[in-house]
């Protein structure tokens, strides 16, 4: 993912907070469109997001787990979900310790 990610949400995280935006992985080579109820089941298991902006104290005194533009896995119930007041997209603000992994490769 490019580090050219811009925060157009109208919300800026503070402290240890990290602003992320959900994304759905691109499915390559598939000719079968999954019904919404199947997609919702997958979303109930995992949450994939792109890091949009970091609060000033994110990972203070620790090695950063992610940087702006990284695709990450976050906990299903982590943080607070909202619709960006400036752009109408769905975002989530999570604490820095709620990012569990950086996605390094997707099929």
Chain segment 3-59, per-residue pLDDT in tens: 589 999 999 999 999 999 988 777 666 667 777 776 666 555 668 999 999 999 999
Distance CA 32, CA 34 (A): 6
CATH number of the CATH domain containing 56: 2.30.33.40
Phi, psi of 82 (to 5 degrees): -160, 165
Distance CA 56, CA 29 (A): 41
Chain segment 58-71, per-residue pLDDT in tens: 999 999 999 999 99
Domain with 91, as residue range(s), is 17-102
| pTM, full prediction | 0.81
How many folded domains does the chain comprise? Answer: 1
Distance CA 47, CA 41 (A): 11
């Amino acid at each position: 993912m490019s580090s050219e990610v811009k925060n157009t949400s109208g919300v800026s995280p503070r402290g240890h907070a990290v602003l992320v935006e959900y994304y759905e992985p691109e499915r390559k080579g598939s000719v079968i469109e999954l019904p919404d109820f199947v997609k919702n089941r997958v979303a109930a298991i995992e949450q994939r997001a792109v890091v949009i902006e970091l609060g000033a104290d994110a990972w203070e005194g620790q090695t950063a787990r992610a940087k702006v533009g990284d695709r990450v896995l976050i906990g299903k119930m982590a943080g607070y979900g909202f619709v960006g007041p400036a752009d109408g997209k769905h975002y989530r603000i999570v604490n820095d310790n709620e990012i569990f992994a950086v996605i390094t490769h997707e099929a």
